[in-house]
Amino acid sequence: MLPMSLLSIIELLAVIATAAYGILLAVRKEMDVVGLFTVASAVAFGGGTLRDLFLDRQPLFWIANPHLPLVVLVLALVSGFLPWLLKWMERYLLLPDALGMGLFTVVGTQYALDAGSPWFICAILGAITGSFGGVIGDILCNEVPSLFRPAPLNATCSFSGAWIYMLASEFGPQGISASVIGVLVVFLFRLAAVRWNVQLPAVRFQPGD
């Protein structure tokens, strides 16, 4: 079990990473600062909000920690006035995506464990926390979410990492070591999926069916 102080740090890092990814998504659509903040907030808080609703956790994590929306606002403002920084960061779009996914997967899984949920449910909630913010961000950017179309593995990376994190916590090193293992599994799995275009097969009707 992770101490709350460590969980809060991981959650903050997850918000920063996913907000950076959301900002870069918005920049690709040439949005203004308001758009940057909106998409960044959706990506950073979307998955965790769903998790909190499913677990009946009140208040929602970003309302209970009002510094988190402020962090996203500062990132959006700084990014809006430093276009050269965004141009440099844009080529590394995948890195904050994969890192935020890993961090949020561990956080979501641990919150579900703390609520006494079965492991399978914990893995699902970990995957939701890690990947559904990106779904909402894609929708706001008028894109079909990569989670729902043939694309490199996304939620599968989170789901797998959640299981590895729980197994590491149960049978291996606990605390920060298990967290690092879980984050690294998701991070590297996601990078590998994109690098080698690993996808789940699309379900299609055959002609004549």
d(CA 145, CA 81): 28
- Residue % of the chain over a pLDDT of 90: 76
Which of 135, 109, 92, 90 is closest to 10 using CA atoms? 109
Q: Is 9 inside a domain boundary?
A: yes
pLDDT band at 57 (very low <50, low <70, confident <90, very high): very high
What is the per-residue pLDDT for 146? 84
Residue 92 confidence class, pLDDT cut points 50, 70, 90:
confident
d(CA 98, CA 131): 10
| pLDDT of 208 over the 90 cut | no
Q: Does residue 79 fall inside a structural domain?
A: yes
pLDDT at 2: 66
The alpha carbon of residue 164 and the mean position of all alpha carbons in its chain are separated, in whole angstroms, by 17
Asked whether residue 204 is assigned to any structural domain, the reply reads no
Mean pLDDT of 38-59: 97
pLDDT at position 209, please?
A: 53
Mean per-residue pLDDT of the chain: 92
When divided into structural domains, the chain yields a total of 1
**Domain residues for 113?**
4-195
Q: What is the pLDDT of residue 114?
A: 95
pLDDT band (50, 70, 90) for residue 75? very high
Is 187 contained in some domain?
A: yes
**pLDDT recorded at residue 48:** 97
Give yes or no for residue 191 having a pLDDT over 80: yes
Measured between alpha carbons, how far is 42 from 137 in angstroms, rounded to an integer?
6
Percent of the chain with pLDDT over 70: 96
* Residue 200 placed within a domain: no
209 lies in a domain? no
Residue 183 in tokens: 């984050």
Mean pLDDT within 94-114: 96
Reduced 3-state DSSP string for the chain = CCCHHHHHHHHHHHHHHHHHHHHHHHHHCCCCHHHHHHHHHHHHHHHHHHHHHHHCCCCCHHHHCCHHHHHHHHHHHHHHCCHHHHHHHHCCCHHHHHHHHHHHHHHHHHHHHHCCCCHHHHHHHHHHHHHHHHHHHHHHCCCCCHHHCCCCCCHHHHHHHHHHHHHHHHHCCCCHHHHHHHHHHHHHHHHHHHHCCCCCCCCCCCCCC
Tokens representing 110? 């641990």
Task: Give Cβ neighbours of residue 208 (< 8 Å, ≥ 6 apart).
Answer: none
Q: Is 57 part of a structural domain of the chain?
A: yes
| Residue 190, pLDDT score | 96
Tell me: pLDDT of 1 over 70.
Answer: no
| 129-133, 165-169, 173-177: segment of lowest average pLDDT | 173-177
Per-residue confidence band for 202, with pLDDT thresholds at 50, 70 and 90: confident
Q: Which two tokens stand for residue 115?
A: 């609520």
205 is a domain residue: no
